[in-house]
Amino acid sequence: MDDITTSRPGVHESAVKHVTGRAQYIDDIPEWPDLLHVATGKADRAFAAILSMDLSAVRQSEGVIDVITTAEIPGDDDIGPVYKGDPLFARNEVQFHSQPLFAVAATSLRLARQACARAQIEYETFVPIVTIRQAMDAASFVLPEKSFVRGDAGVAISEAEFSLRGEQYVKGQEHFYLEGQVSLCVPDEDGGVLVYSSSQHPTEVQKLTASVLDMPMHKIQVEVRRMGGGFGGKESQAAALACTAALFALRTGRPVKYRMPRSDDMVQTGKRHDFWNRYHVGFNQRGEIQGVELDLAGMCGYSPDLSEGIVDRAMFHADNSYYYDSARITGYRCRTNTVSNTAFRGFGGPKGMIAAEAMLDDIATVLQIDPLDARKANLYQPGRNTTPYGQTIEQHVLPGLVDRLENSSDYRNRRRAIAQFNGSASHFKKGLALTPVKFGISFTAKHLNQAGSLVHIYADGSVQVNHGGTEMGQGLYTKMVVVAAQALGVHERRIKVTATRTDKVPNTSPTAASSGSDLNGMAVLDAAQQLVLRLNEFTAGHYGVPIAQVSILNDRVRVGDVTYPFEEIVKLAYLNRIHLSAAGFYKTPDIGFDFEHGTGRPFYYFANGAAASEVIVDTRTGEYRLSRVDILHDVGRSLNPAIDLGQIEGGFVQGMGWLTTEELSWDIDGRLLSNSPANYKIPTAYDVPEQFNIALYDEDNNEDTIYRSKAVGEPPLMLALSVWCALRDACASITDYKFRPAMNAPATSEEVYRCIQVARASMQ
Amino acid sequence: MSKTHVTTTINGDVTEFLCEPADTLLSVLRNELQLTGTKEGCGSGDCGACSVTVNGRLVCSCLVLGVEAQGAEIGTIEGIESAEKLHTIQEKFLEHAALQCGICTPGLIVSTKALLDENPDPTEEEARYYLAGNLCRCTGYDKIIRAVLDSAKVMRGAA
Ligand code: FES
Ligand code: FES
């Protein structure tokens, strides 16, 4: 009757709650009457010594119950997620503008903020490092540089028929999750704390809270039901709020909420890194790349945070989808007096890929060929299939996928029509670009590639699923229902996925690196299979039939030729003392990387896609519109097409924001100028084209992933590189494609206008 | 600080509350009246997560003072559905999977209803323009726009 398949467009498990306003985010939890609210005192220097800090007026301010500085921290005051370097509050030195110096707990948020303003602080101000170039000049790094080297790129470039150099400055990105950072902490009767956190990494929140409070992890419970968006911004950045609120909760014995108003969130939490990329490439007449030297310098901010892996991932993706015969790819991790930059969807990947895409466009310009042909000449294919870090591409999805998109988007005809249009006298010029994406799936830190789950079958036949992943809107819980239903052979209606909690599944990895469904899905599958085996063994014994004759399908248990309702068998099993709960576990096989030598197989597989974007630019102002987008994206065998299509659409538009209108800017004193949605523009419904065609490329994953699906969280973001390339293409059209001006990102109207001027100047 | 007594109508029900002069309508709805379906995304009038109607007009409740609600008719997300039945717009958001994290969704639904009350037959461009004040960071708005236009179609048929 009910068709249970993995490919049924289902709705998000919380959708009805979302549309009625009943979905509860942390700030919606009813407030206790004695709840305290937290605000922090912020440094108004980017780099300074703190000479004195007088908080007496803060303490006396109306409504203030408690004030803490670094001196009040009982345990470790450093909450660095991987490396040390992130003090919860500044010690003697200020490292970035708006760094928290102290925190106040008061009876209302307004009173807490009012109190913070009363602090008297004396500084000795130093000259901050606020740009990548300053950091490179001063050799200011948070961690040492690394390189991937294959062959001798220098020789290959000098021996190549053609060579060129280029550089680009690629700005970072504010996450702008619509729900700001928030944590609510409730003290418990054992001197521990129950932490509600809007976090992608509950285990790390638990670990850091415990270490700040100087207590074992078992005294801290962290619960995450849902986030109002995460995008990487709540991987490491959520912990500071939980640690601060938990300390106040413990000191006052009262529940404490720390919710950052948007104005604090934008200046106090890390963002996507700025990158300064330089490339030197040698290639032949066919456009094939013979050697590449790439320098990728990321702006990490004042501390390492997750920057080691982020710059690694930029290096891992500096090839995007292209075969580099010899290569030297070097990543720098620049230390600046700015907020510590952090994970953001793509995790450095986009920053490496944009260098590759700029390079391919430059090659096409030199050879006077269509950029798509330059790209196709370099796509990984059998025989040219090893990445600069030694991993072999085993499943060649892209050549076929790109061909198909080329046809379905009518690329060649549109290219001709655009050439004709651009040849006319109009002030408007059109640009077109088709770019591929290949994105490696797995955490490059191997130990994170593990997951746990806990599945209960209750005596009434209802099922509860818990796992270590967190729900931030990406539909993970919904997919886990699909996995559990399929594995148990029961209807989705039986299954409820509950809030992620550290006391249900311990030692979890962050929900990041697009890994949520891959890892947790397999862990849920493992638990479900254990339960099915137990139930089938019991049923076979009970009815005296061979186990091969027992199966659970379509919500019923088949015993030979007879079927029974699932709940009837469950009840029987319970009465016969069968254990109806199972913990599942998974670790990704066949991965590993030798960081010392820069070779190995860091990724279990690759997710692929391609997008074709067309823009129209007003050359008098640099203003433009995106007029059409066609996307073909590889999600393996989709676990839920509606959700996957949503991820692709949303990822693309978020990437488009990063590359077009979203512009972070700091002044020379290290103050963030783009500090509110009024001066930092994320895309609106009006910025997205009416012609937005997205299709899934149906091809099973070669690897044994959960029902042969592929990860979809991050890869689509980089499809938006097609928009950036199309804008550059429109600028190049002014010179009849003889010259392609170097373009920085984001390509704001101002940047496009600048490129138009450069293009015009090139013709004189 | 002395509080002000305000009498207003919320989703058709006469409601009274006390608030301080500086309290926004958003904070009154969320913290005094436990109507937490209205969300705070920015607090500065830029994101639309806090969208409500005041006397039928779409506003950002973070830019309205609680005391301004005196004598007014306020409409929030909690008033969109009727007698346990979802509104067409809500049904269409479900059908088109027009949401991900869902925190922008209440604001978008309130805004969509305001749009369709004003203009039952918007072009796609008009819908996109009207809803440009409602930021969504998860979706690419495409499914939202499909849901809005489909709602308009069904609602016109039903009218
Ligand atoms: S919270 Fe009111 S517009 Fe953002
Ligand atoms: S669904 Fe997350 S902000 Fe719109």
- Angle, helices A411-423/A721-733, rounded to nearest 10 degrees: 40
- Distance in Å, CA B103 to ligand 2 centroid: 5
CA dist A682 → A231, A341, B153, B154 (Å): 14, 19, 29, 31
Rounded CA separation B96/A643 (Å): 10
pLDDT (0 to 100) of residue B159: 58
pLDDT-derived band at A9, boundaries 50, 70, 90: very low
Residue A309 is predicted with a pLDDT of 97
Taking the C-alpha atoms of residue A346 and residue A170, their distance in angstroms, rounded to an integer, is: 14
Q: Would you state the pLDDT for residue A586?
A: 97
What is the number of other CB atoms lying within 10 angstroms of the CB of residue A139? 10
If you write DSSP's letter for every residue of A459-521 in order, what string do you get? TTS-EEEEES---SSS-HHHHHHHHHHHHHT--GGGEEEPPEETTTS-SPPPS-TT-HHHHHH
Q: What stretches of B2-141 show up as alpha helix (H) in DSSP?
A: 25-27, 88-95, 105-118, 124-130
Q: How far is the CA of B49 from the centre of ligand 2 (A)?
A: 10
* B83 has pLDDT over 50: yes
Amino acid, res. A480: M
β-strand partners of A123: A50
A390-429: b (≥16 Cβ within 10 Å) or e: bbebeeebbeebbeebbeebebeebbeebeeebeeeeeeb
What is the whole-number distance in angstroms between the Cα of residue A76 and the centre of ligand 1? 37
- In whole angstroms, give the CA distance from residue A192 to residue A663: 42
One-letter amino acid of A332: Y
Q: Is there an atom of ligand 1 within 6 Å of B19 CB?
A: no
- Residue A753 Ramachandran class (φ > 0 left, ψ -120 to 50 alpha, else beta): alpha
E strands within A126-181?
A: 141-150, 162-170
- The confidence score (pLDDT) of residue A700 equals 87
For chain A, give the percent of residues with pLDDT over 90. Answer: 98
What residue ranges of chain A are covered by domains with CATH 3.90.1170.50? 31-127+177-268
- Residues of chain A in contact with residue B124, where contact means CB-CB under 8 angstroms, are 690
Domains of chain B, with CATH numbers? 4-79 (3.10.20.30), 88-158 (1.10.150.120)
Residue A1 has pLDDT above 50, yes or no: no
CB-CB under 8 Å, B43 with A677: no
In the annotation, is A568 catalytic?
no
Residue A311, phi then psi, degrees to nearest 5: -70, -35
The residue whose two tokens read 């049924």 is A8
Inter-chain residue contact A19 with B93, CB threshold 8 Å: yes
Give the residue from chain A lying closest to B80, CA to CA: A20
The protein residue with its alpha carbon nearest to ligand 2, atom 4, reads B136
The ligand minimizing its distance to the Cα of A475 is: 2
> pLDDT (tens digit, 9 = 90+) per residue, A399-413?
999 999 999 999 999
> What is the CATH number assigned to the segment(s) A275-444+595-762?
3.30.365.10
At A320-377, the pLDDT tens digits run 999 999 999 999 999 999 999 999 999 999 999 999 999 999 999 999 999 999 999 9
Does B142 score more than 70 pLDDT? yes
Taking contacts as CB-CB distances below 8 angstroms, the residues of chain B near A110 are 22
pLDDT of residue A38: 98
Cβ atoms within 10 Å, residue A693: 16
- Strands A275-283, A36-42: pairing kind: unpaired
Question: Over the stretch A599-657, which tens digit does the pLDDT of each residue have?
Answer: 999 999 999 999 999 999 999 999 999 999 999 999 999 999 999 999 999 999 999 99
The complex's ipTM? 0.97
pLDDT confidence band for A3 (50 / 70 / 90)? very low
From the CA of B157, how many Å to the nearest CA of chain A? 22
- How close B131 comes to chain A (CA, Å)? 7
> For position A4, what pLDDT does the model report?
32
Instruction: State both tokens at A158.
Output: 């000098």
How many angstroms separate the CA atoms of A326 and A179, rounded? 45
Question: CB burial class (10 A; 0-12, 13-18, 19+) of residue A722?
Answer: buried
Q: Region of A83 please: left (phi>0), alpha (psi -120 to 50) or beta.
A: beta
Q: Is the CB of B37 under 6 A from ligand 1?
A: no
Q: Which residues of B touch A659 (CB under 8 A)?
A: none
Check: CB of residue B50 under 8 Å from CB of residue B61. yes
Q: Give pLDDT, residue A699.
A: 86
Which among A605, A606, A604, A624 is positioned nearest to A614, based on CA atoms? A624
CA A18 to chain B, closest CA, distance in angstroms equals 5
Q: What is the mean pLDDT of residues A135-158?
A: 97
CA distance B71 to chain A (A): 25
Q: How far away, in angstroms, is B134 Cα from ligand 2 center? A: 10
pLDDT of residue A181 exceeding 90? yes
User: Looking at the domain that runs over A31-127+177-268, which CATH code has it been given?
Assistant: 3.90.1170.50
DSSP character at residue A340 = P
Average pLDDT, chain A: 96
User: Is the pLDDT assigned to residue A6 strictly greater than 90?
Assistant: no
Q: Which tens digits make up the pLDDT trace of A279-302?
A: 999 999 999 999 999 999 999 999
Mean pLDDT of A49-73: 98
- Cα separation of B114 and A255, whole Å? 38
pLDDT above 70: percentage of residues in chain A = 99
- Per the DSSP assignment, residues forming a β-bridge with B60 are B51
**Number of other CB atoms surrounding residue A257 within 10 Å:** 25
Contact (CB, 8 A) for A80 and A211: no
Q: Is the pLDDT of residue A32 over 90?
A: yes
What are the b/e assignments for A74-92, b being 16+ CB within 10 Å? eebbbbbbbeebbbbbbee
Contact A348, A311 (CB under 8 A): yes
Reported as a single tens digit per residue, the pLDDT across A447-502 is 999 999 999 999 999 999 999 999 999 999 999 999 999 999 999 999 999 999 99
Segments of chain A assigned to CATH 3.30.365.10: 275-444+595-762, 450-587
Confidence bin at B1 (pLDDT 50/70/90)? low
Under 8 Å between Cβ of A522 and A587? no
- What atom in ligand 1 is closest to the CA of residue B48? 3
Q: What is A450-587's CATH number?
A: 3.30.365.10
Chain B residues lying within 8 Å of A17, measured CB to CB: 102
pLDDT given at position A764: 85
Decide: B102 in ligand 2 pocket, CB within 6 A: yes
Mean predicted confidence (pLDDT) in A678-704: 94
- pTM beyond cutoff 0.95: yes
Residue B68 confidence (pLDDT) above 60: yes
Q: Using CA atoms, how far apart are residues A88 and A327, in angstroms rounded to an integer?
A: 41
User: How many helices (DSSP H) and strands (DSSP E) are in chain A?
Assistant: 19, 29
- A19 with B136: Cβ contact below 8 A: no
Can you tell me the distance from the alpha carbon of A74 to that of A64, in angstroms, rounded to the nearest whole number? Answer: 21
A8 pLDDT above the threshold of 50: no
Q: Which of A293, A703, A714, A751 is catalytic?
A: A714
Length of chain A (residues): 764
* Beta carbons within 10 angstroms of residue A442's beta carbon: 24
Q: Do B103 and A692 touch (CB under 8 A)?
A: no
Q: Which of A1, A12, A5 is nearest to A638 (CA)?
A: A5
Q: Is omega for the bond preceding A30 within 30 degrees of 0, making it cis?
A: no
Q: How far apart are CA A37 and CA A677, in angstroms?
A: 24
